[in-house]
Amino acid sequence: MLVSFSVALVTNFSIFMQADVFFDQGCGRCSLMGTPRCKVVPWNELLRSLRRVLHTTTLTEQLKWGAPCYTTHGKNVLMLSAQKDKVVVSFFKGALLTDPEGLLVKPGPNSQAARYLVFTRMADVEKLSRIVLDYIDEAVKLEMSGAKIEFQDQRNAPYPPFLTDYFASNPELAEAFARLTPGRQRSYLMHFQSAKQAATQLRRIQQCTPKILMGKGWQEY
C-alpha cells in the first residue's frame, strides 16, 4: 500500500512538473518560446497567481496542447492560457454553466462549447477568485454527471469536436479563425477533417496556426 501511494505521489509530481514548462518557457506554439517576446512572459505573475487559485481545487494539472489543462477523473474541465492582451481561464463545457455573473465569453461566434473568463490585472484575480472557484465547482459537477454539449448536426456545424477542444485550449486562435472569411474557414476545415488520426489532425492545426493568426487561407503564402 505504501509503495502504491509513493508511486502515485511520484506520478502526480511528474505531471505537475510538466506544466511548469509553460510558466517557465511558454506554450511552444511558436518560435518565441523561451524568449522575452513570448506572450506568456508579460503575464507570468498573473498566470502564476491564477495557478495558485486552481491548485486549491481537486483538479489535476497537466500539460496539454502546450498549456496547463485541469482535469477531473481524466476528463478535461478547463485550460489556463495567455493571449497578447489578456489571460483566460477557458471551460471546455462553459456553454452549460449558469454564469450568474454574466462573465463568460465565447471564443468565437460559432463556439458551441467553450467559454472563458478574462483577466487583465492582478486585481482581477483577487476580485474574481471566489467566482472562479464557484464556476469550477459547477463545471466539475457537470462533468461528473455526464452532461454533454448538444452540438449541431455536424453536417452544418462549422467546427468539428476535435477543433472545438483545441480552440478551448487556445482562445486567441479561436478568435482569429472566427475572423476568417467563410471560404478560408471551409478550406481549413476540409484540410483538418480529411485527416483520420487525431495526431495528424493536431499536427495540421498546429502547422496552420501561424497562417490563421495572420488572417491567411490554407493555400495562401
User: What's the pLDDT score for residue 17?
Assistant: 56
User: What's the pLDDT score for residue 4?
Assistant: 38
pLDDT averaged over 10-residue windows placed end to end, the chain, 221 residues = 36 56 84 87 96 96 89 93 92 94 85 89 95 96 90 60 81 85 89 89 89 88 79
User: What's the pLDDT score for residue 148?
Assistant: 86
Sequence-distant (6+) residues with CB within 8 A of 73 are: 143, 144
Together in a domain, 61 and 97: yes
Together in a domain, 122 and 31: yes
Together in a domain, 116 and 197: no
Contact 113, 168 (CB under 8 A): yes
User: What's the pLDDT score for residue 31?
Assistant: 80
Residue 198 belongs to what domain range? Answer: 161-213
Angle at 52 between CA 86 and CA 77, to 5 degrees: 70
- Predicted TM-score (pTM) of this structure: 0.74
Q: Is residue 1 part of a domain?
A: no
Together in a domain, 140 and 176: no
Q: Is residue 219 part of a domain?
A: no
Q: Is residue 150 part of a domain?
A: no
Together in a domain, 173 and 136: no
Together in a domain, 140 and 167: no
User: What's the pLDDT score for residue 69?
Assistant: 92
Q: Is residue 153 part of a domain?
A: no
Together in a domain, 102 and 132: yes
Q: Is residue 4 part of a domain?
A: no
Report the CATH number that the domain containing residue 53 is assigned in CATH.
3.30.1460
Given its phi and psi angles, is residue 67 left (phi above 0), alpha (psi -120 to 50 degrees) or beta?
A: beta
User: What's the pLDDT score for residue 19?
Assistant: 83
Q: Is residue 218 part of a domain?
A: no
Overall number of domains in the chain: 2
Q: Is residue 156 part of a domain?
A: no
Instruction: Show the cell assigned to 85.
Output: 492582451
Together in a domain, 172 and 96: no
Which ranges of the chain does DSSP label H, i.e. alpha helix?
2-25, 44-54, 122-145, 161-169, 171-179, 182-193, 198-213
Instruction: Show the cell assigned to 105.
Output: 465569453
User: What's the pLDDT score for residue 86?
Assistant: 93
Q: Is residue 122 part of a domain?
A: yes
User: What's the pLDDT score for residue 151?
Assistant: 67
Dist CA 186 CA 162 (whole Å): 15
User: What's the pLDDT score for residue 152?
Assistant: 64
Residue of 131, 32, 18, 128 whose CA lies nearest to 71: 18
Q: Can you say how many angstroms the Cα of residue 45 is from the centroid of all Cα atoms in its chain?
A: 19
Together in a domain, 134 and 172: no
Q: How many residues in the chain?
A: 221
